[in-house]
Amino acid sequence: MQNLPKTNLKDLTKQLENGKYMLFFTADWCPDCRFIKPAMPAIEAEYPEYTFLQVDRDENIDLAGEMGIMGIPSFVAYSDGQEIGRFNNGDRKTKAEVENFINSLASTVEK
């Protein structure tokens, strides 16, 4: 999983113009983030159509604010520069819950 460097919403949207992306908002100090992190490689492997980007919430606190990310871990999906869904709260997330969220996006992006 790639780490997203410090950025803002305008530059991020430009970066995500082509393709499907999954932003994973996290922080080192977050116990619920540490809970899901071991499952992330398997989740990433299951969904090769997405480029997964890890976003350090503390490093990107302004971006998180612009995007309304109030709790972590949170996931935000993009397709061709448009947000198509988010799993955004401060609750602990299981692998199955993250997979259900990603699976729910399929009907959103089908043309």
- Cite the active site residues: 30, 33
38: preceding bond cis by omega (within 30 degrees) = no
Query: How far apart (Å, rounded) are the C-alpha atoms in residues 23 and 39?
Result: 15
